[in-house]
A and B are shown apart, each in its own frame.
Chain A
């Protein structure tokens, strides 16, 4: 079993749809959770960063962490064609940084 699991997609949705992207993990010591967006032929860019459980909202994006279920989600409201990218979840323990564990990514296509 991989340490972080993520549905690879591809996921295709119409413009304006609500998108839900999810990751599950096995290590209960993970404390910091991140979502990165990666456009084709580009490096990942940080989208959302959360600590411990709960929700965090930033514009059209909401990150949700459920540590009891070892499950994190990223919701995109009013999805746009410019949201078409691969979304990577990442997480790390409270050890100041060296051991980030990434999911394999979910490819999202938002169709106009």
Chain B
């Protein structure tokens, strides 16, 4: 059980180049997310998906595109990289809800499970 796996781990791009970051999860989670982490800013949501074939914009979507063709995979694309996209990118996944083990009528938000990140530098 690998959890959430991200590839590549590191990448250096020149301004204007494109690339795709790959995320795979083996926990059968419905929801998947892409975040970026910058010093002093906290994790910021780029795009997310609530199921296969669906995507939605998060807080900072500009310059990125995503696709979720299979439930276990979520791809993040940079069409024309800019230095402002230098960051650490984290993929995460979650169930839509989790049920209380003592009373299944009660449900909660499911917490996020993260991969180990992709460190991207755009020069």
Contact = CB atoms under 8 A, between A and B. Distances in A.
Given A43-B114, A43-B117, A100-B45, A94 B109 contact: yes
B97 A43 contact: no
Contact of B115 (A4, A8, A43): A43
A98 interface: yes
B102 interface: no
Interface residues of B, number: 27
Interface in B83-109: 90, 92, 94, 96-97, 108-109
A97 interface: yes
Interface stretch (B35-43, B61-69, B71-79): B35-43
B48 interface: yes
A46 B40 contact: no
Interface residues of A, number: 30
Interface in A18-69: 31-32, 34, 36, 41-46, 49, 51
B31 interface: yes
A92 interface: yes
A43 B108 contact: no
Given A8-B40, A104-B41, A98 B50 contact: yes
A105 B111 contact: no
Interface of A: 4, 6, 8, 31-32, 34, 36, 41-46, 49, 51, 88, 90, 92, 94-105
